[in-house]
Amino acid sequence: MAIVTMAKLVEEASSRGMTIGALAREVEARESGLSVDELNEKMRKRLEVMRQSVAAGLQGVRSRSGLTGEDAVKMTKAQSKGLLISNEPLNTAMAYALAVAEVNAAMGLIVAAPTGGSCGILPGVLLSVGKRLGSDDDALLEALFAAGAVGAVVARSSTLAGAAAGCQAECGTGAAMAAAAATQLAHGSPHQCANAVAFAFKGLLGLVCDPVAGLVEVPCIKRNAISVSVALAAADMALAGIESVIPADEVIETMGIVGRDMPASLRETALGGLAVTPTGKRLARELASAPPSDEAAGHK
């Protein structure tokens, strides 16, 4: 069995009483020739990088351009003061997502799952939900394999690239992967994981990619934080037994179709959307005329 569709994943996992993550790991072991233990170790290293990037971002980092940074710190401070409207795990998920995305903008080490521009969504959701549920590393690793299976289906059936289909392909896929992982962590069924994938994509369908000055910073970093809320809402709806009328595979295929219908100006070219607002244009001019200094990057 190859990881081709969500329907096939759900059917196989359900018939064998497995999670999507466990099945995906088994398939990867068969196709790669690596043992389950070897694959777990490889995934464990990615989990550790996710944790390290969260920790680094929560210390406060700024991008080389100086355009973004330290919003993760603001989130955690506001949370500690009881200033936020939302509750757990959303508050922590947003802070973590901002932290990782800010580390990426500061040229730090992240896991591009599925891409650099959407790198904060999966760790934000995975680690906050895992913390809330008291999940051990074995459960987190299996959830990462579930997320990877979703990403593999999207890559095969549609695209992961913002340049090909807008930010719905990047943040949309990141949210779908995170929704599946969270649903599995909460002991949802494979069918519920697929519903979560469909809900997440539907929530972000049509999202454009319009990076200001061509940098993966504005609005990308804050879209990571917003996308975790979509992922968590998708997981909760699925866990409640709500069904997606449109199957996950059809939603994924639709994302690719919508992306191809988008004008090039809204697909990572910085020629449309927020990139061409008066402020977006001004920032692009300022950054072009003032090369970033070394002091703008790194920890404060």
Kindly write down the DSSP assignment for every residue of 189-233, as one continuous string: -HHHHHHHHHHHHHHHTT--B--GGG-S-TTHHHHHHHHHHHHHH
What is the number of structural domains in the chain?
A: 1
CB atoms near residue 82 (< 10 Å): 6
109 is a domain residue? yes
234: tokens are 């998708």
pLDDT for 290 equals 81
Q: Is residue 142 a contact partner of residue 184, using CB atoms and an 8 Å limit?
A: yes
296 is a domain residue? no
Residues in the chain: 300
pLDDT for 292 equals 53
CATH number at residue 65: 1.10.4100
136 is a domain residue? yes
Give me the domain span that covers residue 238.
8-289
For 182-197, write each residue's pLDDT tens digit: 999 999 999 999 999 9
Q: At what angle do helices 220-239 and 190-204 cross, to 10 degrees?
A: 140
pLDDT for 293 equals 55
pLDDT for 294 equals 53
Which DSSP category does 262 fall into?
Answer: S
pLDDT for 254 equals 98
Quick one: which of 154, 180, 158, 250 has its CA closest to 23?
Answer: 180
Q: Is residue 186 a contact partner of residue 60, using CB atoms and an 8 Å limit?
A: no
2 is a domain residue? no
Quick one: which of 154, 162, 185 has its CA closest to 250?
Answer: 154
Kindly report the pTM of this predicted structure. 0.95
Quick check: bond before 89 cis, omega within 30?
yes
84 is a domain residue? yes
pLDDT for 3 equals 81
CA distance 266 to 245: 28
298 is a domain residue? no
297 is a domain residue? no
First-to-last alpha carbon distance for the chain, in angstroms, is: 49
**Which residues in the chain come in under a pLDDT of 50?**
295-300
Quick one: which of 66, 70, 56, 102 has its CA closest to 221?
Answer: 102
118: tokens are 């959407």
pLDDT for 298 equals 41
